[in-house]
Amino acid sequence: MQRDSGAPLWEFFAGGGLARLGLEPDFACAFANDIDRTKAAAYRAAFPPGDDMHEGDIWKLTPSKLPGKAALAWASFPCQDLSLAGARRGLAAPRSGAFWGFHALIEKLEHEGRAPDVLALENVSGLLSSHGGADFTALLHALDDLGYRAGALEIDAAMFTPQSRPRLFIIAARSPPPHLVASGPSEPFHGQALRNLVARLPDSMRKHYVWWRLNTPPKRNTRLADLLDDHSDAWNSAEQTAKLVSQMSELQRSRLEALQESGRREVGAVFRRIRIEHGERVQRAEARFDGLAGCLRTPTGGSSRQLLLFVEGKSLRSRLISPREAARLMGVPEHYPLPSGQTAALHLVGDAVCVPVVRWLSQNLLSPLAGAAAARKSA
């Protein structure tokens, strides 16, 4: 894929490089890192020659591995490794939280005068409630210790693509320019949970907290059906589709029947989930027909695989979502080379960040922040 010029970028927990797709051409990647061999191989295939991808544990990275100085460091640190409660407690233990490996590296770079001007951290929205908010507070405190002022933005990919995928983006900078800072929270990027957490911060931290000003994107004009392939050889059997419908709740089945009676053609996204009903575990198929897919997941089990239910009057057909369709829901261009294996491709996509979300952040906040930092240095 073509490498565009831009401000220097370091990308950590890079996966297949979907964040990079959104950040270019505002930023040019000079270094990338991921511990997963399959994802690192996919990254190199997508961005040849691939010599900027360093495969390995972030805890073992040293500043000498990183070239020059970056305007931006992006880090989509893994949510399953989240262990932030008790600030800095786990810095000496590699398994206590991948974020702390990133933090330790930035701290070393700071001692060399090479810390990035801007940091962008991405994680699940559950970070706000993790340990009653203590993990989020610890993360802010850690960034504050490094000399950054930070603030969070809640962005749902549904604003850009037909997929429900809320994520938390924590943006940190040295001296935020006034025109990029709001006087307080605003919809749709600062929800009530975030507002409540910030209100409970210690006074010193609350004074340093930044309510980032971010433009609201134009209204999305695509639906799930628009991104699906017209033809597929992977249809489930009639029996499998009937079983899927039988696993719906009575309310879900009645909604499906009403849709069939209307004669409309519609596509629903379906997940299987275990629910407790009358004290028993019951597998339910839960469908949505609002034009959105459910949040893509990594294919670790049967229940994590998203299905599609096609309704054409009385006719029902179902199949699994394909890797390329999943990639489209993440805003990935058609020419991006997905891994050949279906599981590997779905894992890469389901564990990534939505490209148009990153692009909007880059154009409206990250690039202006990096530009302001460069202007201060040249003044």
What's the gap between Cα 169 and its chain centre? 8
Q: Coil, strand or helix: which one is 285?
A: strand
Query: CA 333, CA 114: separation in Å to the nearest integer?
Result: 33
CA angle 115, 126, 59 (to 5 degrees): 35
Query: CA 379, CA 370: separation in Å to the nearest integer?
Result: 14
Between the alpha carbon of residue 147 and those of residues 66, 68, 144, 207, 314, the distances in Å are 20, 20, 5, 14, 62
CA angle 71, 74, 76 (to 5 degrees): 175
Tokens 């489930």 sit on residue? 236
Count CB atoms within 10 A of the CB of residue 280: 7
Per the CB < 8 A criterion, the answer to whether 66 and 102 are in contact is: no
* Residue of 23, 360, 14, 10 lying closest to 212 (CA atoms): 360
Query: CA 157, CA 294: separation in Å to the nearest integer?
Result: 11
SS3 percent helix, strand, coil of the chain, rounded to 5, is: 40, 20, 40
Instruction: Give alpha helix (H) positions in 29-153.
Output: 37-46, 98-111, 134-145
Query: CA 358, CA 21: separation in Å to the nearest integer?
Result: 8
Structure tokens at 93: 């233990």
Catalytic-residue membership of 79: yes
Based on C-alpha coordinates, what's the Rg of the chain?
Answer: 22
Active-site pick, 29, 79, 295, 354: 79
Per the CB < 8 A criterion, the answer to whether 162 and 98 are in contact is: no
Residues annotated as catalytic (active site), given as ranges: 79
